[in-house]
Chains A and B, each alone.
Chain A
Amino acid sequence: MQKYDVTKTAIKTFSQPEHEIALQTNDLHVYYGDHEQIKGVALQFERYKISAIIGPSGSGKSTYLRALNRMNDEIQSAKVTGSIMYRDLDVNSPQVDVYEMRKHIGMVFQRPNPFAKSIYDNIAFALRRHGIKKKATLDEIVEKTLRQAGLWKEVKDSLSKSALALSGGQQQRLCIARALALKPDILLLDEPASALDPISTSVVEDTLTQLKKDYTLIVVTHNMQQAARISDYTAFFYDGYALEYGATNQIFTQPKLKATDDYISGNFG
């Protein structure tokens, strides 16, 4: 692999925002034991846009994403420093109620992970736990989110069937619907289409493009075409740093850094 001088070019600060910012991180570091996986990342994510995070394997893009709603808390050896500003709240502060916060910052994972419950209960389950018990309300949210995720037509007659009987692409859209049911502000998606076939991928991508009307999406992907197709902004991660960040078509047509250019033109990955 080529060597790039990453410490000089890494993004450490940003200028004053011109648009409404949904989430921003300052000097975010993630350590797994003694290993520093994310080495100080400063990024801003604009509201109602899709921001893509691209970069080679091991560049820390998934680790960074998982830090944003504190999923790294579940890993015993993980430690996160720096701040993650959501509204006026530092998500990374120990006083934050992570469970409440995760209702606002939802997440969809790489592999579809529906619960071994019915399609209906996959969505209604978390709602019930958060106190929504009325059948009519639940019905309404289930239908609305399944429509948003582009799954309603396919499953409306089999809501009581096991979610595990769905295809991979359908399961992933169910997971998106499930996350939307909590009405999050921000949806984090960790390579949401990487385990899917091309047709399912394109359906999921359409779904995401539809969703940005109401949600702020941050998508990690190793698929550059996908980033180019769906995102408004793209961040290029390399070796634990965010090297370049900008409007997607600028990143893909006129990258400022050689590393970005090399990665985008497929010289390494």
Chain B
Amino acid sequence: MNVKRQDKIATVVLYLISGMIILILAALLLYILAAGLPHVSWHFLTSPARAFEAGGGIGIQLFNSLYLLVLAMLISMPISLGAGIYLSEYAKKNWRTTFVQTAIEILSSLPSVVVGLFGFLIFVVQFKFGFSILSGALALTFFNLPLLTRNVEESLASVQGSQREAGLALGLSRFETVTRVIVPEALPGITTGMILGAGRVFGEAAALIYTAGQSAPALDFSNWNPFYIASPLNPLRPAETLAVHIWKINSEGIMPDVAAVSAGASAVLVIVVLIFNLSARWFGKWLFKKMTGGD
């Protein structure tokens, strides 16, 4: 068999494999959207869930998911940035750094249900935060931090070393070089990683079941004082998210339209995650152009 033929066969095989993967993914996506979209309406997106009768929505769950996401990212973004910058730019290459990097890698492969139980024991029980948005956000931080840190570290490491030399040779301090030259150049990669991380957090259920809780008490959208018990912004109220809601009604839902609610909620979840992923790409590209002064 000659080389040309071999190459052809290899190409065909690779095409077949990737085609299969795309087909499976597309079929899944289309199925979820086709089954769910007919049930999605403005009413469905905005009204509270109903436990015993048909016609409930996912309004509170959707809001909870978004609020939890914002809180979790607010906590994890600065920490992962700091840790990533330290590991990539400041840490000496010795066994301690390698140890930390390995620990982060192991942490990133931790099953989310374990993260959830850890969060339950620490935040819910030990710190007495109860089933609350705060407990959930902290658990999600633990869940997300390793991946975000690695992403920041890798994005920074991919900036060429000659850029660091350029900054230093101009009399800039290391901190100035990192914050003004290296981070801006790595920003597209960092942003993409953050948004993808946000998508992961948005779809996460297992880590939240025992931390943010499985109930969605009614919210008073007219009072945004975070200390008011029914305020949407109150971080100490229990908050069932969209992903948890889907899991819950599928396992114990007794409303008559449970299948429709579940399908609709799944479609909404998938669409939001899709929006995250697409915007990550678009935003990353846009940012790169903006940062590099190209037009």
Contact = CB atoms under 8 A, between A and B. Distances in A.
B173 A99 contact: yes
Given A99-B171, A130-B171, A165 B163 contact: no
Nearest to A118: B293
B172 interface: yes
Interface string B69-103: 00000000000000000000000110000000000
B125 interface: no
Given A99-B171, A117-B292, A109 B165 contact: yes
A113 interface: yes
* Chain A interface bracket (under 10, 10 to 19, 20 to 34, 35 or more): 35 or more
Interface string A16-51: 000000000000000000000000000000000000
A113 B162 contact: yes
Interface residues of B, number: 25
Contact of B169 (A102, A125, A130, A164): A102
Given A100-B171, A106-B169, A182-B170, A116 B291 contact: yes
B92 A76 contact: yes
Contacts of B7: none
Given A76-B92, A113-B160, A161 B293 contact: yes
A244 interface: no
Contact of A107 (B163, B164, B169, B291): B169
Interface string A168-181: 00000001001100
Contacts of B160: 113
B293 A113 contact: no
A105 to B, nearest CB: 9
B166 interface: yes
Nearest to B184: A116
Nearest to A77: B93
B293 A121 contact: yes
A113 B171 contact: no
Contact of A175 (B164, B166, B181, B293): B166
Contacts of B293: 116-119, 121, 160-163
Residue in B163, B171, B173, B292 whose Cβ sees the most chain A Cβ within 10 Å: B171
A268 B293 CA distance: 45
A48 B262 CA distance: 79
A17 to B, nearest CB: 27
Contact of B294 (A76, A101, A115, A165): A165
A12 interface: no
B180 interface: yes
A125 B177 CA distance: 11
A160 B289 CA distance: 13
Interface in B237-295: 291-295
A126 interface: yes
A79 interface: no
Interface in A112-145: 113-119, 121, 125-126, 129-130
Closest CB pairs A-B (n = 10): A118-B293, A113-B162, A126-B170, A103-B171, A162-B294, A116-B292, A107-B169, A102-B171, A162-B293, A113-B166
Interface of A: 69, 71, 74, 76, 99-103, 106-107, 109, 111, 113-119, 121, 125-126, 129-130, 160-165, 175, 178-179, 182
21 contacts: A71-B168, A99-B171, A99-B172, A103-B170, A106-B170, A109-B162, A109-B165, A109-B166, A109-B169, A113-B162, A115-B163, A116-B184, A117-B291, A118-B293, A129-B180, A130-B171, A162-B292, A164-B292, A165-B294, A179-B169, A179-B170
